Each structure stands twice: as structure tokens, then as C-alpha cells.
Structure 1
Amino acid sequence: MDSITHIVLGACIGELFIGKKAGRRALLMGAVAQSLPDIDFVASFWMSPTRDLIAHRGITHSLLFVLLVTPLLAWLADRWRRPHNITFSTWLWFFAVELLTHLTLDSFNAYGTGLLEPFSRRRYAMHAMFVADPLFTIVPTIVAIALLFMKSDYKRRRWTVFAIGWCFFYLAIDVFNKAIVEGAVKRVTKQHNIEYRRYFITPTPLNNLLWYVVLEDDKGYHIGYRSVFDTKSNIDFAYFKRNDSLLNPVKDLEELKDLFIFSQGFYTIEKEDNVLVFNDLRFGQRVGWYKPNATFVFHYYLQRPYDNNLVVQRGRFANWDKAAFLSMLHRIKGE
């Protein structure tokens, strides 16, 4: 998830656990605690772009990290600004919940989370939520700001419970909407005899109503879009070849090996101005619901590694304009 979401939700959880005893400091401690796993961004200053892709959401987003760091943070907090009346067990639960919440939220989107690092390099991704969803974040943001000024303990707790409850409710909606779309995709592929060996379904930007669908076969991918409000019995798929043969001239590149691992095998290769481009399909297309043959958000220039800074972010909202935004709203309404 985005940093703002972790900060404001962390602040609300801090208020719930230690707000009565720590006052407004609970908001700051909660925001910092839940943001802690993202300390791995520091590694990007010393790593190549592809190494950084694999390192991010790795060991600091693992269950082992939570297991080791939680008692250390609790020990430090217990000795900070004594005397206080917060028990050590409360500190343990507070930090454990904050860190586990961060890992859970990150596991909901396409990037994936290395929950079992360093014992397994597998990334766990539910593909149930876009990395930034305003409707999810707006409620804990409003509540976190309100808590800075609110004095009544009863109101503070009631607002905090509402914010956290909203987050649980919204995540349940994400899972429910994905189930609707997944069921529709299985019906459509069976009805139209579309064969595939793997697939994934993930939300389009900033919502959980329009979903991006990728079906993999031996030579490439069927890519389409499905709204939870669609009633038609088919999906308009565009087909993209994998084009593995284009990789022969660069098959020994170290960056390529990293990209294979990072993309989990969902990739295509294409040429752009005589430069080979590696596309990771998991992050979607640039306004693909509007232009079915659109290029992909994540694209790595294999022969120009110096052009690959911010590789995950640079295409996320490229080609967005009024027409593309209105087309998304229209497509969400269903066909």
C-alpha cells in the first residue's frame, strides 16, 4: 500500500491500543511502527534497479522480521519515558498488530510480499486491491486528523473503531468483488473454449469495480477487462505474444534473471526504437480499458539500464487524460 495509508491507519491502531495512556504520542508511534517495514527503501541507494525490485518487500516484510523486531520494539518502548502504566504485553500486541497489518495490506496488491523470506523467495499477492485506493484511505485519514484535536476519550475511541472497522469492511468488499469477477471469467472461458494454464485478476487503478484479467497460454496472454456490473457473457480479450525468442541476444544479462524472478513469469518482450523492452504484466496497461492494445505500465529497457529509475511508478498514470478517465467511469458502469 501507499505510505499515506500505512501512516494514517497506523495512527488509528496506535490510538486504539495506547491512546488513553500515551495521549497523542500514540498517533505518532502508531504511524512510525506501521511504516517501519518500508525501511527497505534505503537499500535502493546502493542497489541496481532490478536488485532493488527483488529486495523491496523482502526480508523487512517477512514474518521472521515481525517475530524478531516486535519484542525489540516492545522492550525499547517499555523503557522510553518511564514511569508509565503501559504493560509490556500491551507493547508486544501493539507492535505485532502494526507490523502484521502492514504485511497484510501489502499482500493485497500486485507487487506481492515476501512473507517467508529468507527461507523462500516466493511473493504472496492476493491481487485484491490497487496499491492506492482513495475510498479505503479517506476514512482513516479523516479520523487520524480529527484525533489530533479531539479531547473526549469516548469520542476518540468511537471514531477509531469506526475507521478500523471501515478498513475491514472495505477489504471484505475487495475480496467479494474479486470473487464476482473471477466467477465470470471462469464462465466466459468455459463457454468460449479459451484455454489457459495460469491466470490472475487484479483491480484497475484507484477502484475495486473494474478488474484487469490476464490468462496465460503456451505462447502469450489473453488480456481483458471485467466490471462487477457487467452482464454480457463474453470478455473482449486482446492477445499479446510473449516473444521469448527476442531475448536470445541478451539471455545472459543479470538484470534479466532478476526480472524473471520478479515478474513471476508474467512478462512479454517487445522492441521499442530497436531496444528490447521487458514488460511485467502484473501492473497492468496504460489505460488498457480505453485502448486494448496499450503498452504496459511496468517496462524495463534491457539495453538501456540507466533509463530504468522508478521503473514501477513511471507508467502508472501515463496517458491519463479526461477522455481516459471518463472511459473508465463508463466501463465501470458495466456492459
Structure 2
Amino acid sequence: MDSVSQLVLGASVSLAAMGRRVPLWQAAAVGAVCGTLPDLDVFIDHGDAIRNMTLHRTESHALLWLTLASPLLAWLVAGIVRRGVPWQQWWLAVWLALITHPLLDLMTVYGTQLGLPLTDHPYAVGSIYIIDPLYTLPLLIGVAVALRRGGASGLRWNRAGLALSTGYLAWSLVIQSVAGWQIKQSLAQQQVPDDKVLVTPTAFNTLVWRTVIIDGERYGEAYWSLLSPARPLKISWHPRYPELFAQLKGDWYAERVAWFSHGFYAMREQAGQITIADLRMGEGENYTFTFGLGTPQSPAAHPERLPSSRPSLGRAFSALGERL
């Protein structure tokens, strides 16, 4: 999720865990910092764009490592704050702020390797967009009112915000299941294979859902709306060019993106080189993570991420209105 959501989630769970044992602003500050810490891995340069994408949300998001680090961080917090509160009472707040970060990231489509070191599988539920105001606003309001009012009343507001945001996550799972069922019904009516289908929300909402269908040498893209659930899917088909992947068989970079995207990728020839795109993030033929791989004769030693065009905010909301 976005940095603001992670910051206020960390602050909220820390407030809920610490209660009035320390000033509320201190509990919120500690939670905000701990909730932000895992994403500091974005400042690590692993040498190329594909490694940077696939090694984000790895060790810093692993539940085991965060759990093992939490007692030390709690001890450091107790030493810095010095309010007579033993580190053991900070432990729960610090641990919750740390582990809720990767658990929230898990709900997006990107991929979070929270099972390290036992498994490096990039888990992704994909039921919420990376930025969704309806998730973040209850947390933000709850924390803000708690800090302003203080006391038991403020803590009730914080708990209410936390409950609403968590309920919204549950809603996203339910509506994702409904959307997936409706989409597969429509695909069956159109005699389109449904063995490899991705269903994920569009930007800033959980009302309009985007689906990607992998069908051999092509991939399809369509949109389903909660406000018109019975409307037949209008699928736009695009070539995947799997023969280009075959030409790069054994290339670590191509196979890494294919693995990380769970098979939702497409190849193209562009500007004299082969490119690979992660189809989960973006739309049409413009994808956030598109990389140049060079050619079979001269593969790229350090693949670069290619620029992608994004629609303006106005166009994005206009498209959302049409799809609704």
C-alpha cells in the first residue's frame, strides 16, 4: 500500500495496543515509524530494475524476521521514550505496527515475500488497489481525532477507524469473490478458457474490477462493475508473443519477471529489443513495470525499466465513470 496508509495503520495499531500507558502522541509516533520501516528497502539498489522490483518486499517484509526484530526495537523505544514503561509493554505495539505492514501489502496485487526464509513465493491477494481513500480515511480520521481529543474518547475514535478500515478490507475480499464468479460465468458463456484469470480492482475503488485472461498466445482485458454485474464482458485481446520468451529461454531476467508476475506477462519487440511487461499493473498496452531485455544475441546485462504513459487524473476518473 501507499506510504500514508502504512504510516497511519502503524500509528493506529500502536495507539490501540498502548492505550493510555504513554501520551497518545508518543504511541502514535512510534507506531508510525515502525509502520514505515519495512518500506525503507526501496532505497536499496540491487543493480538493475528487475532485481529492484522483485527484491522489494522481501526480507524487510518477512513475518519471521520482523517478529524477531520486534523485541530489540521495543527495547530501543523504551530507552528513547523513558516514560517508566518497560520494553515488554512496548513489544506488542511495535510488533503489531511491523507485521501489519506486510499483511496490508499482501492485499495488493504486487507480491509480498512474507514467508521468507521458508519460501520466497510472492504472495498477492489483489483485493485492494495500492491507493484507496476509503481504506485510508477512517484510519486517518481516527488517529487525528484521538490525538486531538485524547483520553478514552480519543481511543474510541481510533478503534472505530481501525475497525472500519479492517471491515473495508473484508468487503474487498467479498466483492473480489463476487466479481471473480461473475467474470468466470461470462467467460464460460463466451467459451473463453478461465483457467488463468486475474481479478483486481481499478484505481481508488472496489466497485470496478479489471480482469486479465491468459489464453495461449494472447491475453484479454475486461472490466466488471458492481453497478451493472450482469453486463457481458467486453474483452480486448492483445498478443503476448510467447515465441519471444522462447528465444530468451534460460535468461534469468525474463524468467524472473514471469515468476514474479505469476505468469501474467507479455512480450513485445520495441525499439530494436525484446520487452517484457507485468500485466497486473497498468492497462491496455501501458504497464507500470515494462523492461527492456535486449536481444537473444545481445541480452541486456542490466535491464532498464521503460517509461510508461499514465492517464491524467481527470481521464482516470472519466474512465472509472464509464466503467461503472
Do both proteins adopt the same fold according to a TM-score greater than 0.5, normalized to the shorter chain? yes
Q: 2:281 is paired with a residue of what secondary structure? A: strand
CA distance in 1, matches of 2:38, 2:160: 25
The amino acid of 2:291's aligned partner reads Y
The amino acid of 2:8's aligned partner reads V
Q: 1:318 is paired with a residue of what secondary structure? A: coil
Q: 2:55 matched to 1:52?
A: no
Deviation of 1:307 (Å): 8.2
Alignment equivalent of 2:238, drawn from 234, 237, 240: 240
Residue matched to 1:319:
311
CA pair 81-131 structure 1, distance change in 2 beyond 3 A: closer
Q: 1:109 is paired with a residue of what secondary structure? A: coil
Deviation of 1:178 (Å): 0.7
The amino acid of 2:175's aligned partner reads N
CA distance in 1, matches of 2:83, 2:323: 58
Deviation of 1:256 (Å): 2.2
CA distance in 1, matches of 2:271, 2:83: 66
Aligned residues of 1:222 and 1:239 also touching (Cα < 8 A)? yes
CA pair 278-172 structure 1, distance change in 2 beyond 3 A: same
The amino acid of 1:39's aligned partner reads L
CA distance in 1, matches of 2:314, 2:192: 34
CA distance in 2, matches of 1:36, 1:114: 16
CA pair 269-87 structure 1, distance change in 2 beyond 3 A: closer
Residue matched to 2:185:
187
Residue matched to 1:160:
158
CA distance in 2, matches of 1:256, 1:294: 18
Aligned residues of 2:245 and 2:254 also touching (Cα < 8 A)? no
Residue matched to 2:136:
137
Alignment equivalent of 1:298, drawn from 278, 289, 301: 289
CA distance in 2, matches of 1:323, 1:264: 29
CA pair 175-81 structure 1, distance change in 2 beyond 3 A: closer
Deviation of 1:95 (Å): 1.9
Report matched runs for 1:273-284 at 5 Å: 273-284=271-282
CA pair 282-270 structure 1, distance change in 2 beyond 3 A: same
CA distance in 2, matches of 1:29, 1:321: 34
Residue matched to 1:288:
none
Aligned residues of 1:110 and 1:202 also touching (Cα < 8 A)? yes
Residue matched to 1:308:
304
CA distance in 1, matches of 2:63, 2:94: 13
CA distance in 1, matches of 2:229, 2:173: 20
Report matched runs for 1:116-265 at 5 Å: 116-150=115-149, 152-247=150-245, 250-251=248-249, 253-265=251-263
The number of equivalent residue pairs is 318
Q: Deviations over 1:140-167 (max 9, x none)?
A: 22333344433x4022111111110111
CA pair 198-250 structure 1, distance change in 2 beyond 3 A: closer
| Greater alpha carbon shift after TM alignment, 216-225 vs 25-34 | 216-225
CA pair 9-222 structure 1, distance change in 2 beyond 3 A: same
Q: 1:180 is paired with a residue of what secondary structure? A: helix
What root-mean-square deviation, in Å, do the aligned CA atoms of Structure 1 and Structure 2 show? Answer: 2.3
Deviation of 1:64 (Å): 1.6
CA distance in 1, matches of 2:125, 2:157: 29
Q: Deviations over 1:260-302 (max 9, x none)?
A: 23222211111233332211111130xxxxxxx4433322122
Deviation of 1:172 (Å): 1.5
CA distance in 2, matches of 1:50, 1:307: 7
CA distance in 1, matches of 2:259, 2:192: 27
Aligned residues of 1:53 and 1:262 also touching (Cα < 8 A)? no
CA distance in 1, matches of 2:226, 2:207: 6
Q: 2:44 is paired with a residue of what secondary structure? A: helix
Aligned residues of 1:19 and 1:27 also touching (Cα < 8 A)? no
CA pair 240-140 structure 1, distance change in 2 beyond 3 A: same
| Greater alpha carbon shift after TM alignment, 105-114 vs 196-205 | 196-205
Q: 2:279 is paired with a residue of what secondary structure? A: strand
Aligned residues of 1:18 and 1:86 also touching (Cα < 8 A)? no
Residue matched to 1:11:
11
Deviation of 1:180 (Å): 1.5
CA distance in 1, matches of 2:201, 2:187: 19
Report matched runs for 1:74-153 at 5 Å: 74-82=74-82, 84-86=84-86, 88=88, 90-150=89-149, 152-153=150-151
CA pair 233-318 structure 1, distance change in 2 beyond 3 A: closer
Stretches of structure 2 lacking an aligned partner (at least 5 in a row): 295-299
CA pair 60-258 structure 1, distance change in 2 beyond 3 A: same
